[in-house]
């Protein structure tokens, strides 16, 4: 069965711009901690309270998005199906701690409300993301395509060879954008 996802937020840019670091920082801002795992992750944060609303939503986040194959797997993950690329660990944040998602049944119990994914903009990444969203999801309201380098410029967060940018600052701004945009949908 195809899911009807309320929002998909795509953080895109060319390679080595900090998409993974930003999304890992976003997970930490949303959940208060990160899974004890290096590299790419797929996570479910259930019952996230939208700012100034009584509505609680489930947020799915994937930090990977370099190839069309991985992008399609991200959409499968959003749709409650086990991805083919099982080398990317899946976690869920419940009762204040992280645990592995061990089965498709466990993953399928959570309907995705907000899905956030990285996507490489060079090559066919953006086209693949659009194609697989339409192919695998019954209805998608794509709220935001966020170019990471533009967001960093607006926030005056620079990346140099000697200094890593403040990914937390970028993640907090992204969280603020999510809260404000998503909260407006529930105002009567």
pLDDT value of position 108: 83
User: Using one digit for the tens of pLDDT, what is the confidence trace for 45-58?
Assistant: 998 887 766 678 88
- Residue of 29, 15, 28, 101 lying closest to 64 (CA atoms): 15
User: How many angstroms separate the CA atoms of 29 and 52, rounded?
Assistant: 17
CA dihedral 25, 157, 10, 47 (to 10 degrees): 30
pLDDT value of position 2: 57
User: How many angstroms separate the CA atoms of 93 and 172, rounded?
Assistant: 19
User: How many angstroms separate the CA atoms of 109 and 79, rounded?
Assistant: 11
User: How many angstroms separate the CA atoms of 118 and 110, rounded?
Assistant: 21
Region of poorest pLDDT, from 65-79, 85-99, 118-132, 170-184:
170-184
Q: Which residues are 93's β-sheet partners?
A: 98
Average pLDDT over residues 167-180: 84
User: Using one digit for the tens of pLDDT, what is the confidence trace for 17-28?
Assistant: 889 999 999 999
User: How many angstroms separate the CA atoms of 79 and 74, rounded?
Assistant: 9
Are the beta carbons of 31 and 41 closer than 8 angstroms? no
Average pLDDT over residues 28-53: 87
Q: How far is CA 38 from CA 34, 41, 88, in A?
A: 10, 8, 10
> Does the pLDDT at position 186 exceed 50?
no
pLDDT value of position 139: 63
Q: Which residue has the tokens 């992008």?
A: 71
Are the beta carbons of 88 and 41 closer than 8 angstroms? yes
Angle at Cα 124 formed by Cα 150 and Cα 68, nearest 5°?
A: 110
User: How many angstroms separate the CA atoms of 148 and 119, rounded?
Assistant: 10
Q: Is the pTM of this model over 0.75?
A: yes
> Does the pLDDT at position 167 exceed 80?
yes
């Amino acid at each position: 069965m195809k899911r009807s996802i309320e929002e998909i937020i795509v953080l895109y840019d060319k390679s080595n711009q900090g998409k993974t670091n930003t999304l890992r920082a976003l997970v930490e801002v949303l959940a208060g901690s990160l899974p004890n795992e290096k590299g790419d992750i797929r996570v479910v944060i259930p019952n996230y309270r939208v700012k100034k609303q009584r509505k609680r939503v489930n947020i799915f986040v994937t930090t990977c998005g370099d190839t069309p194959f991985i992008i399609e797997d991200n959409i499968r993950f959003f749709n409650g199906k086990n991805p083919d690329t099982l080398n990317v660990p899946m976690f869920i944040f419940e009762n204040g701690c992280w645990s592995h998602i061990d089965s498709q049944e466990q993953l399928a119990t959570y309907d995705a409300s907000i899905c956030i994914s990285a996507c490489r903009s060079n090559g066919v990444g953006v086209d693949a993301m659009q194609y697989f969203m339409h192919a695998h999801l019954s209805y998608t309201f794509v709220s935001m395509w966020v170019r990471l380098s533009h967001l960093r410029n607006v926030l005056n967060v620079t990346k140099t060879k000697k200094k890593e940018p403040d990914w937390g600052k970028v993640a907090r701004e992204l969280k603020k954008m999510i809260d404000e945009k998503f909260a407006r949908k529930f105002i009567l």
